[in-house]
Chains A and B, each alone.
Chain A
Amino acid sequence: VEAEFARILSTEKGEPAATLRDEMQDVMMDHVGIFREDPGMRSALEKVRELQQRYENVVVMDKGRAFNTDLLEAWELKNLLDLAEVTTVAALNRTESRGAHLREDYLKRDDANWLKHSMVGRSESGELEITYKPVTITRFEPKERVY
């Protein structure tokens, strides 16, 4: 963390965290929000990865060591970009609709293939890897969503 702080503080030319964050928020709202489908999420994933590249040159104006919320917000953005990537990868992978995950290209729940938790981690080479964990069903069995 200290090394990362030092790197961000020493960067002189690049983009501020605020504009990168705005672009991330827009693309996640538009394509990985309530209603999701493959093409949109693919474009979102591409965009998030582009932002992760651009984040390498994130600059802060506040170079101080006292209550530096400029630095804090830049640091938070890196974690937000990681989470945006994880969310999008897991949502793209899950070819069904379940609960709040509603895919317009897969409207039905698919217990045969997807009654399992997605676990996303980063491999040593930096790629995201999806593994699964079985679901423990207790009092409440999955049911059709009706209104």
Chain B
Amino acid sequence: MNKVTLRIFRFNPEVDDEPTFREYPVEVDPTDRVLDALHQVKWYQDGTLTFRRSCAHGICGSDAMRINGVNRLACKVLMRDVGEKVTIEPLMGFRVLKDMVVDMESFFAQYRSVLPFFIADSRTGSRERLQSVEDRERFDDTTKCILCAACTTSCPSFWANEDFVGPAAIVNAHRFIFDSRDEAAGERLEILNERDGVWRCRTIFNCTEACPREIKITQAIGEVKKAILYGTARV
């Protein structure tokens, strides 16, 4: 067991005018996760500490937060990798509702704006829409997104302009634009060609570094840009 101090961003809209930082001592094993340390605080020290979490195993995307200044999932970071004093803050760029809980309405509105669902109006009768292994691999990387918002809230272009559709939405557009069975690539490319679409990206690579699923986001965005420029989803 190691003694570690968590320095946690605290803001309660019902009481506070300004956010503050509070320090909490915890005892953790090196193989405990940051989420375990947060639970220790919430369950045994201060029940008012508020954060989202659900599956606790890196797939629901609920507990993305800033850990020592970088966007991470609290359930995927081990205490041995974060030092003896750990700073925990909410994702940057969204309104803070309470402690680590941020308002993600705009994030999901941007996600919905790129038509993140399968569209195919042609009829195949009773046959399935078959796809070759190569065609499936074309968009495999971007199927891994869990919508945790770590990428979008690490993006300086998004910080500067909250109307920027953001890397997460582009990743999810990519997932359908490059799906050989989908028939609405053109529509999505048009949406992303608009003022606050893909061109706000200045290839900064923060998104790629922030992604807990290791999606090559900057590359995916680049592929979408190329598809717009050359008028084809088959780059």
From the candidates A16, A65, A66, A67, name the one contacting B47 in the complex (CB within 8 A). Answer: A16
Of A18, A65, A66, A67, the residue contacting B43 (CB under 8 A) is A18
Q: Interface code A66-107, partner B: CB below 8 Å = 1, 0 otherwise?
A: 111110000000000000000000000000000000000000
Which secondary structure dominates where chain A touches chain B?
A: loop
Contact: A67 with B50, CB < 8 Å?
A: yes
Q: Find chain A residues with CB under 8 A from B12 CB.
A: 64, 66
27 inter-chain pairs at a CB distance below 8 angstroms, sorted by A residue, are A16-B43, A16-B47, A18-B42, A18-B44, A18-B47, A60-B47, A61-B46, A61-B47, A61-B48, A62-B48, A64-B12, A64-B14, A64-B48, A65-B14, A66-B13, A66-B14, A66-B97, A66-B98, A67-B50, A67-B97, A67-B98, A67-B101, A68-B50, A69-B50, A70-B42, A70-B47, A70-B48
* Chain A residue at minimal CB-CB distance from B51: A69
For B14, list chain A residues within 8 Å (CB).
Answer: 64-66
CB contacts (< 8 Å) of B13 on chain A: these are 66
How many B residues are at the interface, by size bracket? 10 to 19
Expressed in whole angstroms, the Cα–Cα distance for A60 and B46 within the complex equals: 10
Which residues of A sit under 8 angstroms from B42, Cβ to Cβ? 18, 69-70
Which partner residue on chain A sits nearest B44 by CB separation? A18
Separation of A147 and B60 alpha carbons in the complex (Å): 35
Distance of A122 from chain B, by nearest CB (Å): 29
For residue A21, which residue of chain B has the nearest CB? Answer: B43
* B residues 1-58 in Cβ contact with A at 8 Å: 12-15, 42-44, 46-48, 50-51
Interface of chain B: mostly helix, strand, loop or mixed? loop
B97 and A62 contact, CB distance less than 8 A: no
CA distance A18 to B98 in the complex (A): 21
Q: In the bound complex, how far is the Cα of B12 from the Cα of A65, in angstroms?
A: 10
Q: Which residues of A contact B50 (CB under 8 A)?
A: 62, 67-70
Q: Tell me the complex Cα distance, A71–B12, Å.
A: 15
Query: A67 contacts which chain B residues (CB < 8 A)?
Result: 50, 97-98, 101
Q: Which residues of B contact A18 (CB under 8 A)?
A: 42-44, 47
State A18–B13 Cα separation when bound (angstroms). Answer: 25
With both chains docked as a complex, state the minimum distance between the C-beta of A14 and any C-beta of chain B, in angstroms: 13
Q: Which residues of B (76-104) have their CB < 8 Å from a CB of A?
A: 97-98, 101
- Contacting residues, chain B, for A60 (C-beta < 8 A): 47
Closest to A72 in B: B50
B10 to chain A, nearest CB (A): 12
CB neighbours (8 Å) of B46 from chain A are 61
CA distance A115 to B15 in the complex (A): 58
Tell me which residues across on chain A come within 8 A of B97, comparing CB atoms: 66-67
Closest Cβ of chain A to B233, distance in Å, is 41
0/1 interface trace, chain A 1-40, chain B, CB 8 Å (1 if under):
0000000000000001010000000000000000000000
By Cβ-Cβ distance, the 4 closest A-B pairs, closest first, are: A61-B47, A18-B43, A70-B47, A62-B48
Return chain B residues, CB-CB under 8 Å to A61. 46-48
A74 — nearest CB in chain B belongs to which residue?
Answer: B47
Q: What is the CA–CA distance of A69 and B98 in the complex, to the nearest angstrom?
A: 11
Kindly list chain A residues whose C-beta atoms are within 8 Å of the C-beta of B44: 16, 18
Q: How far is the CB of A11 from chain B (nearest CB, A)?
A: 13
Q: How far is the CA of A135 from the CA of B65 in the complex (A)?
A: 48
